[in-house]
Amino acid sequence: MKLLSRQGFTLFELMITVAVIAIFSSIGLRNTYTFLQEQKLRQASNELLSYLLTARAKALREANVSESGTAKACEVMIDASSNTISPSQSSAANVCNDSPSLPELNLLAASGGSNLTLTASEGSSPFFITFTRMGTVASSNLSNPQSVTLPRTFYLSDPSATQLQRCVMVDLNTLRIGWRNSADEACTYNGH
Amino acid sequence: MKSFYSTTRSSAAQQGHTLVELLVAISLGSVVLAFLGGVLLVSEMRVSARIQRNLDAKDAANRAFDLIRREANFSSRIDYGDGSGTDSLKKCDNTPLILNQNTTSEICYKTVAPSQLQDKYKSAFEGPCVLVRLGPPYKPNGDIDGSSGNAPSPLLDGVSNTSDDCASHDNQGFTAKLASLKTRTDDVLAPPNRFANITFNMASGKSYSFSTRASSNLSYDGRDLFRNCNKEFGLCSGPDSAINHYLPENDMMNNKVPIGSESKDNFFYFKYPYSNYEINTGTCAYASCSVTVKKRGDTLKLERADVLIFPDKEIRPTR
């Protein structure tokens, strides 16, 4: 066998190959990382929406007459500092505290993310949402009679990639979920 | 002696491929496979996105239906506006469906173009038309807040447009056909509409229809049917002088026992759905009928009750 065919690759060729592989994998890894972040945000916002739908269903099903003769409602509290959503404890008329009460949900744990920032279109944490026996979102809350401007939009983002934001819109009878455009900060929602 | 290897590798045709050839072949193969996989993946994603969009649209339509149906059930009569209001998001003129809650509040539904929506909604709706509820907001106890003005709330996106303007009365994207319960011959008032057949025609080509009716329960402000009625009444005379209408909730509070008239039919109206009350059928007869409010525990004994009317049920005690 000729000696030439056993020479293998030069160091230069190897370096070029390694460099090319490095460039391609860095692009791939970056995309994968963004995709994973997107998935976690998507998961966190889906969990939030699903919790609100459950609270709404509970209000529709159970918020009728109470011991005092007045109709109940379901009030949930979103705490941005702990990324949790739970029935608020402050009112006896909160049907979501009635057994079986809605359990507290940690959005960060449920989405498998490492960090989450939750803000709203107005107000500061904790945020309250009250679902009436009609399945509608009330314009004031059980625990706080101050009026609430509808629609309210909640924004979920990962602090390490703030250009990615999910929107959860809560209106009188509409709950919608979508992505926020980082350029004009408007939300576009899925489907109709 | 020839070795085994030298025998088998004697000709060039049996030498196989070089590493470079193999690498090129693998690279080409991967490119082709990646392309095919990508095409399949994209088409699969498109299909699942379309299915999801359809499901979302159906869900949104159902939710809009549910609200209209519930609000109609709690209203006294159903109406429409045939005016030609220009400020389509403030007044209930020119709307196919108005639900009169009582003498002071009304809720109406209409379609508008997304560009007519308030800024806070504009980016969230695509059109061509959006179904909007125009009415007072809700208090936490589930009553509408009549003291607040009418605010527009978009309910459903993607409603079709069959006229030049979504807000036009001719738009068939959202229609309501009304019908009255019966013609009242013994009252000067026109018979109010209590039934509506409602249709949403979506831009996607799908169409959803349902029917609903206004309440005939006095507790839900169905008082326009009756004369001499005001908010505090316990007894209210209706258009038919042979019937007495009672709202026993007021009497329950005062521990009174309402006793119906012997010479008339006595109708008793209850505020909450039937599941909130306990009525032992053995103890509910014309002569005496016990009704207990489950969560409060107070019991009402009715005498000479011909009909007990709940929002979702009617009971006729045995005579």
For residue A163, give the nearest of A178, A179, A182 by alpha carbon. A182
Interface residues of A toward B, Cβ cutoff 8 Å, are: 63-73, 75, 93, 130, 132-142, 150-151, 169, 171-174, 176, 178, 186-192
Q: How much is the average pLDDT of B260-289? A: 78
Per-residue pLDDT tens for B20-36?
999 999 999 999 999 99
Contact A132 B273 (CB under 8 A): no
Contact B145 A71 (CB under 8 A): no
Residue B58 burial class via C-beta count within 10 angstroms: exposed 0-12, middle 13-18, buried 19 and up: middle
* Interatomic CA distance for residues B35 and B28, integer angstroms: 11
Q: What CATH number has the domain bearing residue A174?
A: 3.55.40.10
Centroid of chain to Cα A43: 7
For B:180-209, CB contacts with A below 8 A are 202, 204
A–B interface: beta-carbon pairs under 8 A: 115
Is the predicted pLDDT of residue A4 greater than 70, yes or no?
no
The answer to whether residue A35 sits within a structural domain is yes
Quickly count: other Cβ atoms within 10 Å of residue B10's Cβ: 11
Q: Out of B57, B148, B154, name the one closest to residue A174 (CB).
A: B154
Given a contact cutoff of 8 angstroms between Cβ atoms, the answer to whether A72 and A94 are in contact is yes
For B:267-286, CB contacts with A below 8 A are 271-273, 275-276
Residue B47 burial class via C-beta count within 10 angstroms: exposed 0-12, middle 13-18, buried 19 and up: exposed
Please provide residue B71's backbone torsions phi and psi, each rounded to the nearest 5 degrees: -65, -35
Return the minimum-mean-pLDDT range out of A164-173, B102-111, B256-265.
B256-265
Structurally, chain A folds into a number of domains equal to 1
List, in order, residues 6 or more apart from B201 with CB less than 8 Å away: B159, B160, B162, B172, B173, B174, B175, B207
Q: Is A139 left (phi over 0), alpha (psi -120 to 50) or beta?
A: alpha
Provide the H-helix boundaries in B153-292: 248-253
* Interatomic CA distance for residues B226 and B215, integer angstroms: 13
Nearest-CA distance B55 → chain A (Å): 9
CB environment B160-178: b (16+ within 10 A), e (fewer): bbeeeebbbbebebbbbeb
* Interatomic CA distance for residues B311 and B217, integer angstroms: 6
Half-sphere exposure of A187 (CA within 13 A, CB side): 24
Mean pLDDT of chain B: 79
* Interatomic CA distance for residues A14 and A4, integer angstroms: 18
Is the predicted pLDDT of residue B178 greater than 80, yes or no?
yes
Which of A74, A96, A173, A176 is most worth mutating to test chain B (most B CB atoms within 10 A of its CB)? A173
- Please, which residues bridge with residue B156 across strands? B131
Contact A133 B142 (CB under 8 A): yes
Given a contact cutoff of 8 angstroms between Cβ atoms, the answer to whether A92 and A139 are in contact is no
Q: Out of B155, B204, B293, name the one closest to residue A173 (CB).
A: B155
Which chain B residues are Cβ-neighbours of A31 within 8 angstroms?
none
- The ipTM, to two decimals, is 0.84
| Residue in B with minimal Cα distance to A178 | B124
Taking CA atoms, A101 is separated from A117, A144, B44, B92, B313, in Å, by 26, 21, 39, 40, 29
pLDDT at position A96, please? Answer: 93
Domain that holds residue A100: 12-189
Q: How much is the average pLDDT of B172-199? A: 70
Which chain B residues are Cβ-neighbours of A133 within 8 angstroms?
141-142
- pTM assigned to the model: 0.78
| Residue in B with minimal Cα distance to A179 | B124
pLDDT at position B65, please? Answer: 92
Is the predicted pLDDT of residue A124 greater than 80, yes or no?
yes
Q: How much is the average pLDDT of B214-218? A: 72
| Residue in A with minimal Cα distance to B139 | A138
The two three-digit tokens of residue B24, written as one number: 């090129």
B63 touches A at CB < 8 Å: yes
Return the minimum-mean-pLDDT range out of A68-72, B183-187, B251-255.
B183-187
Mean pLDDT of chain A: 88
* Interatomic CA distance for residues B151 and B149, integer angstroms: 6
* Interatomic CA distance for residues A181 and B124, integer angstroms: 12
The answer to whether residue A2 sits within a structural domain is no
B132 touches A at CB < 8 Å: no
For B:99-128, CB contacts with A below 8 A are 120-121, 123-124, 126
DSSP designation for B230: -
Which chain B residues are Cβ-neighbours of A63 within 8 angstroms?
142
Which of B131, B134, B141 is most worth mutating to test chain A (most A CB atoms within 10 A of its CB)? B141
Q: Out of B55, B56, B153, name the one closest to residue A172 (CB).
A: B153
3-state secondary structure of B161: coil
Which of A5, A165, A192 is most worth mutating to test chain B (most B CB atoms within 10 A of its CB)? A192
Q: Out of B74, B151, B155, name the one closest to residue A174 (CB).
A: B155
Q: How much is the average pLDDT of B267-293? A: 79
pLDDT at position A144, please? Answer: 77
* Interatomic CA distance for residues B69 and B205, integer angstroms: 23
* Interatomic CA distance for residues A122 and A167, integer angstroms: 13
